[in-house]
Amino acid sequence: MFRDTFGASSTFRSLRLRRELHDLEERRRGLYRHRHTTAVSQSPVGETRPRPKVSTDSSVHDALLNGDLDKIRDIFLSKDSVNRIVATVSHELSWSAELGLWSLTSKQKRTTALYITAQRGHTECLKHLLGHGADVNAEPGGATALHAACANGHAECAKLLLRIGADPNAISDEGYAPLHLCTSPKTILCAKLLLEHNARVNMQTRDRQITPLHVAAKHGLDEHVDLYLSYCAYCHKKNREGETALNAACSYVEKREAFGRYYKVCKMLISNGADVKTAGKKRHTPLHNACGNGHPAIVDLLLMHGASVNAENCAGYTPMDCILLAVEDHLDYHPEQIVLMLLNHGAAPVNPKILKQCAKSPQTMEVVLNTYQCIPFCDSWLEAVPPEVWQKHEAFYESIVQMTNKPRSLQHLARCALRKYLGTQCHSVIPQLLLPSSFKEFLLLKCEGVFK
């Protein structure tokens, strides 16, 4: 009963906080609109700008949403009608301090016919509205029609708006330009159109100081990144957290099917001067993020370009710590490959206390244990091995038990001595040694599946 009550109260606290943040944002937007309205009202004497009328007719809104061209032609016949504000009502949870509870309240949202048709990609309807004098840069809801068209990848709509005079650098109430809203592969044509119409490729968002290159890198949009770099986007530009586009690409590469695109993004950024050692305010480098996300190809790319293998973030974690703490998240994708790369580039020895993190990955455990001259006492971390994993790899785990605190072979000790001597050069020197391939693989800690 206590647990249920605690869960509910946590939910209400969360909702209350969200509501308070929402109210603060609404007040900020209100001040912005007030300043904007004041500026407009201070026009020369004799010049007046009538306020657009407001329509709350749901049938009008439905016609715009559905792209009903016949109805739109009947409704929007003049400049006054096409610039009419379209008001819609939505229902949201609102906290009542007086009653001490949450209640459902109605919130009115304001937009334009042009915004709705651009958002939905109704090109012919958009043409009709523009032909009757629609204000191409109107933003009663906090964003222009061009923002809506680009966010949804409607290139034909974006082309029409830009041709009429839409501002490619207009800033929404949230602080975004249209180029910041190109967040999916289908928006590439919109991004090209914006840049052709003088959109600023290095413009940063108002609050988080994010550039379009940050956005494209975060979403693994290799075509966008290539486009922005051709327009001289700055690879070294940092956001509010002190992170570059390369940090963003390594931070968000989570879905395996997108690994190829993210690798291309990182490769392009590095080729154009991105610094692989740049860390954000929390001292988290691209290598920390790539290791935590289990991407061996990007880890290898970063290491080959001089990433700091033993750099510590503000929590004291190295890239090795990041992959070992995430081993269970990447069991099906060979996390031992990343551990091998780090060790062969000079990663510091792993503290035996963290061995339990790789209990479910025998290959990872073998790689780490082969960096020790002697297998340490194992009861504390072998207990973490699930019975089904032990059964599947029984010979491997039994060999650990038999070799615990016993001298390893002379061959293994020679390997440890050579690797210690080579240090950070293991990955580059060992492959060049005049030795049989099998022995070079042994020196590079290739897994054998059992300890001898």
3-state secondary structure (DSSP) of residue 174: coil
Q: Do domains 53-171 and 281-452 have the same CATH topology?
A: yes
Amino acid at 61: H
Mean pLDDT score, 420-439: 94
Rounded Cα–Cα distance for residues 314 and 214 (Å): 23
Residue 107, pLDDT > 80, answer no
What pLDDT shows up at residue 430?
95
What is the dotted CATH code of the domain comprising 53-171? 1.25.40.20
Residue 31, pLDDT > 70, answer no
What pLDDT shows up at residue 138?
94
> CB-based contacts of 4: which residues, under 8 Å, 6+ apart?
none
Rounded Cα–Cα distance for residues 103 and 95 (Å): 6
Percent of the chain with pLDDT over 90: 64
Rounded Cα–Cα distance for residues 43 and 98 (Å): 43
Rounded Cα–Cα distance for residues 401 and 405 (Å): 9
What pLDDT shows up at residue 382?
81
What pLDDT shows up at residue 1?
33
Residue 94, pLDDT > 60, answer yes
Mean pLDDT score, 268-280: 96
Tens digit of pLDDT for each residue in 181-194? Answer: 999 999 999 999 99
Mean pLDDT score, 444-451: 88
The first and second tokens of residue 76, run together, are 């929007």
Residue 165, pLDDT > 80, answer yes
Rounded Cα–Cα distance for residues 41 and 34 (Å): 10
Residue 44, pLDDT > 60, answer no
Tens digit of pLDDT for each residue in 125-134? Answer: 999 999 999 9
What pLDDT shows up at residue 27?
54
Lowest average pLDDT, out of 37-41, 156-160, 340-344, 370-374, goes to 37-41
Residue 410, pLDDT > 70, answer yes
What pLDDT shows up at residue 132?
95
The first and second tokens of residue 357, run together, are 């993190």
What pLDDT shows up at residue 352?
84
Domain range annotation of the chain: 53-171, 281-452
What pLDDT shows up at residue 161?
98
What pLDDT shows up at residue 256?
77
The first and second tokens of residue 329, run together, are 């998240």
What pLDDT shows up at residue 359?
83
Rounded Cα–Cα distance for residues 238 and 280 (Å): 9
Mean pLDDT score, 302-310: 96
Any idea how long the chain is? Answer: 452
- Tell me the pLDDT of the chain averaged across its residues: 86
What are φ and ψ of residue 103, in 5° steps?
-140, 160
Domain 281-452 CATH (choose: 2.40.10, 1.10.10, 1.25.40, 1.20.1530): 1.25.40
What pLDDT shows up at residue 20?
57
Mean pLDDT score, 287-299: 94
Are the C-beta atoms of 109 and 141 separated by less than 8 Å? yes
Rounded Cα–Cα distance for residues 356 and 404 (Å): 15
**Backbone angle region of 238, left / alpha / beta, with phi > 0 → left and psi within -120 to 50 → alpha:** beta
What pLDDT shows up at residue 32?
44
- Confidence category of residue 333, pLDDT binned at 50, 70, 90: confident
Mean pLDDT score, 296-312: 96
From the list 433, 443, 441, the residue with the least C-alpha distance to 413 is 443
- Confidence category of residue 124, pLDDT binned at 50, 70, 90: very high
**Residue 340 CA, distance from chain mean position:** 27
Tens digit of pLDDT for each residue in 2-30? Answer: 233 333 344 444 555 555 555 655 555 55
Q: Which residues pair with 107 in a beta bridge?
A: 90
Lowest average pLDDT, out of 48-57, 71-80, 333-342, goes to 48-57
- Confidence category of residue 34, pLDDT binned at 50, 70, 90: very low
Tens digit of pLDDT for each residue in 219-236? Answer: 999 999 999 999 999 999
